[in-house]
Amino acid sequence: FRSHFGSSSSPFLSPPGLPPTVAALPAGMSKSGAGADLRKFMEKRLDLKLTANRHVVGVLRGYDQFMNIVLDNTVEIVSPTEKNEIGMVVIRGNSIMMWECLDRVK
């Protein structure tokens, strides 16, 4: 895992009518087409809703081009009254349904 993505050719094609150098990118995607750029969220607390109705909060320590992420000081929120401290975890990007940064981002 690293804190930024390597370059690769973009898998996104320009829509009809746009020059070939202007590609339509989904929100949050980098121009390299490698995935979301999460550098500004490094060392920030993230609140993640995962598949299988799971919910975790932790500090972002790393990620890759597939949005697999490493969280530290992670807490699984089972219910409003039940929380499990689970420490450092790796979460597969395809299991992340929604995430929110809980800390101020510069």
Q: 47-101 pLDDT, tens per residue?
A: 999 999 999 999 999 999 999 999 999 999 999 999 999 999 999 999 999 999 9
The answer as to whether 55 is a domain residue is yes
What CATH number is attached to the domain comprising 50? Answer: 2.30.30.100
Query: pTM for this one?
Result: 0.67
* Structure token digits, residue 84: 């499990």
The DSSP secondary-structure symbol of 94 reads G
* Structure token digits, residue 9: 């050719």
The answer as to whether 16 is a domain residue is no
Q: How many structural domains comprise the chain?
A: 1
Would you call 95 helix, strand, or coil by DSSP? helix
